[in-house]
Amino acid sequence: MHKQFDQLQASHLYCDKCRRSMPVRQRLLLILPDGELYDYLCQGCGNSVGSKSDRGPAGPFAKGVLRRPL
């Protein structure tokens, strides 16, 4: 067992289909000019259980520096 905490955000969310709190998978949905929009999918049934917008650092030089690892 690791004692370190992973940097998982909102690792469990309530799922309507499973009717209980389920582990979720974070999926990048959209890249906005001022942040990123994430979708949370239930790992049990794949249902979308939530979304979150993540704002990047605001500033005049923040635009155009997003890179997508492929």
Positions touching Zn ion (CB under 5 A) are 15, 17-18, 22, 42, 44-45, 47
Cβ contacts of 50 within 8 Å, gap of 6 or more: 10, 13, 24, 39, 40
Q: Which is nearer to Zn ion, 8 or 45 (CB)?
A: 45
Q: Are 32 and 53 contacting, i.e. CB atoms less than 8 angstroms apart? A: yes
Q: Which is nearer to Zn ion, 15 or 40 (CB)?
A: 15
Q: Note whether 22 and 42 are within 8 A (CB).
A: yes
Considering the complex, state which of residue 36 and residue 39 has its C-beta at the smaller distance from Zn ion.
Answer: 39
Q: Could you tell me the smallest distance in angstroms from the CB atom of residue 62 to Zn ion?
A: 35
